[in-house]
Structure formats: structure tokens, C-alpha cells
Amino acid sequence: MQEASVRVAAQRTKRKMATAHGAAAVIADPAGVRRRLLAWYARAKRDLPWRGAGDPYPVWVSEIMLQQTQVERVKEFFVRFMARFPNVEALAAAREQAVLKHWEGLGYYRRARQLHAAAKQIVTDHEGEFPRSVAGLMGLPGIGRYTAGAIASIAMDLPAPIVEANSRRVLARLAGHDEPVGGAGDEPIWQIAAALVPSKKAGAFNQALMDLGAMVCTPDRPLCQRCPVASCCVAKQTGRVDRIPVMAAPRATKQIREVAVVVRHGDRVLVERRGPGEWWEGLWDFLREPAKKARDKAIGHVTYTVTHHRIECTVVERTSRTPPWAATQQRWVKVASLAALAMTAPGRRIARLLAVR
């Protein structure tokens, strides 16, 4: 007991000294943390379809999919996407609409467009081979600091650190880092991660951090009694697990009302492709009007959320007696054929509404 108290006191002193010099806090017994985490990971790691191949491509695809999306949801999409685009060459050769269609349901479609653009760049500029450095990987569209570190460590076993939601929480608690995290506030966590990542088995170690955060060191009610590194955790030893990490206040949600217009001509409906800079760029959707201008009868309602916006959408139907002419980014489509299009999430829900009418 006395030894533990001395260790915690020493850790507090190191943390105060580090903070005074503007650096990250220090992890107690880093070698022990590495050893225990790797041993725990070997027996408790999650069974995920993108693990174990040693190939950068599935690691990259999975990491892009996992951005702002839960693991369980990604599993199904990953398997289907890999069946259609089994390697970087297949992805690079595909049409954008095919990529967007196979991404449909995951949301944040900019990820899919950047994935497609990066695949083309890998094939064109790198002869189909992924750059073998964090800096080189970050030169590809859509690959930031975390994703580059994940690919480099997991697929190439380079000693690259990672910081994402789960590893951030584990590292902040281990070090007792009680300053706000997120954005620029993550820099001290990156310093902790860089000091801790081992020179060998970096990929297994980084995945252990993520799995521990997902399975044991959870945001609420963490299972500290099952944690392999609890004896090294400053937050645990100082009774601050429920207060670390310190998260910035969430942004307020903006409420928006809009009207989706289903224009019919015979057995066809008019859809349009979302333009550059719009939500769901490149995907097909139904026309929109401001809520105050709509005069048609409502046939349904759709509610959806995009980033920090909650949209209440009233769906109305209008008959067009003019010939089936459409602008460049518009198309007349039979209701039964809407399923073949890469559509926005609300557009797909409206299409399902039409299918049962």
C-alpha cells in the first residue's frame, strides 16, 4: 500500500513538472503498460473482419469507414464494400456513382469520395503501393494524422502513435490528464501516445489501446476491476476516472424546416444530383423548397440529422403536365428504379415512402 502511494505521489510530481513546462503528462511504468496491454490484447481482442491481413488496403478502408461510425455498423458495410472493391486497383477503376452506392447508409459521403480519389492517386502516382511513412500517407486525400498512424502501425508495424476517441480516453486516464481534449486540446495526448508506442508490435499495441477503450475503459462505468493497467492509471489511483477525460461543451443543434418535392410525370419522378459543397455532394435526391413556399398536400414527413443540424422535412407531391425534360443534374426515374441510384439518406427514405403508396 505504501509502495502504491509513493508511486502515485511520484506520478503527480512528474505530471506537475511536465505541465509547468507545457508538455504532456508522463505515464508511470511505460514498459509495464506496454507489456500488460499486449498480453491482454492477445487474449481479449475483438474479432473484426479487417484485422490480421497485414495489407494496408483493408486497414485503410476500415479506418475511413470507422470515422464517426460505430464498429458494429461498419462490419456489415466493410464486408460488402470489400467484395465489390477487393483491392486498391478495383476501387480506383470504379465509377464514383458505384462507390457512393456501396457507401450508401454509412453517411458522411465525403469520406467515400476522398477514398476514391486517394485510390486513384495510389495507382497513378505510387504504382498501386501505399506510401510507407506517416508523412507520405497524409499526402493522400482524406488521410489525416490518426488514419495515417493507424495504417502505418497496423499494416506496416511502424512505431506511429494514434489518438482517436477510445485511445484518447485510455491515455488521458492513464496519465491523469485533466485538461479539455479534442481538436488542439489533443496535442498533449498525442505526445503521450508517441512516448508510449513501442518500436515493435506497434500495430497490436495501438489496437489494444482502442479495444481497451471500447471494452473496458468505457466513457461511463468503466470496468476498472478488469483493466490490465489499472495499477498504472493516475485517474484510477486519484479517484478521477469519472472526470477524465474532460470534454469540450458540445455545439448547439440548429433546427431547420424544409420541404421535399416529389414531382411526378406519369410513372416517373424527378430527382436531382446534389452539387459541389452541398450536403451529400454527388448523390441523388428529391427537389427542395423553403417550408414557407410549399402549397402542395403533404404525403409524409422525414426527420434527419446532419452534423449539428436537425432537419424536419415535409414531403409533398406535385404532378407535372409538361414533357419529361430535366436540367443537366436532374433525371426522370421510375419509382421502381430509384433503388439503383446512389441516394441521400432522406432521399432513400422518401423513395421507400413512394414505394408503398
pLDDT in tens, 193-226: 999 999 999 999 999 999 999 999 999 999 999 9
Radius of gyration of the chain (CA): 25
Confidence band, pLDDT 50/70/90 cuts, at residue 128: very high
pLDDT at 260 over 60: yes
Lowest pLDDT segment from 85-89, 100-104, 251-255, 291-295: 291-295
CB-neighbour burial class of residue 298 (10 A; exposed 0-12, middle 13-18, buried 19+)? exposed
Same domain, 47 and 130: yes
Last residue of one domain, picked from the residues 199, 214, 247: 247
Last residue of one domain, picked from the residues 220, 247, 274: 247
CA angle 105, 108, 114 (to 5 degrees): 115
pLDDT at 9 over 50: no
Distance of CA 216 to the CA centre of its chain: 20
Which pairing describes strands 254-265 and 309-319: parallel, antiparallel, or unpaired? parallel
What number is the average pLDDT over the span 266-270?
A: 90
Q: What is the pLDDT of residue 116?
A: 97
Q: What is the pLDDT of residue 20?
A: 33
Same domain, 24 and 148: yes
Same domain, 203 and 310: no
Q: What is the pLDDT of residue 186?
A: 92
Same domain, 236 and 285: no
Q: Can you give the CATH number for the domain in which 48 is found?
A: 1.10.340.30
**Alpha carbons 137 and 144: distance in angstroms, whole number:** 8
Average pLDDT, the chain: 89
Number of domains present in the structure of the chain: 2
Residue with cell 497496423: 154
What number is the average pLDDT over the span 253-270?
A: 92
3 state SS of 29: coil
Q: What is the pLDDT of residue 4?
A: 44
Same domain, 329 and 234: no
180 - beta bridge partners?
Answer: 246
**Domain around 167:** 2-247
Same domain, 222 and 270: no
Q: Can you give the CATH number for the domain in which 279 is found?
A: 3.90.79.10
pLDDT at 105 over 80: yes
Last residue of one domain, picked from the residues 223, 247, 271: 247
- Taking a C-beta distance cutoff of 8 angstroms, is the pair 181, 246 a contact? yes
pLDDT at 317 over 60: yes
49-83 per-position pLDDT tens digit = 999 878 999 999 999 999 988 999 999 999 999 99
Same domain, 241 and 259: no
Same domain, 237 and 325: no
Same domain, 278 and 211: no
Same domain, 117 and 188: yes
pLDDT at 314 over 60: yes
Same domain, 187 and 237: yes
**Alpha carbons 330 and 334: distance in angstroms, whole number:** 13
What number is the average pLDDT over the span 141-156?
A: 96
pLDDT at 271 over 70: yes
| Amino acid identity, position 270 | L
**Alpha carbons 125 and 117: distance in angstroms, whole number:** 12
pLDDT at 335 over 80: yes
CB-neighbour burial class of residue 281 (10 A; exposed 0-12, middle 13-18, buried 19+)? middle
Q: What is the pLDDT of residue 1?
A: 41
**Alpha carbons 119 and 125: distance in angstroms, whole number:** 10
Catalytic: which of 63, 104, 164, 272? 63
Q: What is the pLDDT of residue 320?
A: 83
Same domain, 166 and 52: yes
| Amino acid identity, position 240 | R
Residue with cell 457512393: 100
The answer for residues whose C-beta is within 8 angstroms of residue 246's C-beta and 6 or more apart is: 178, 179, 180, 181
**Annotated catalytic, 63?**
yes
Confidence band, pLDDT 50/70/90 cuts, at residue 5: very low
Q: What is the pLDDT of residue 24?
A: 59
306 - beta bridge partners?
Answer: 309
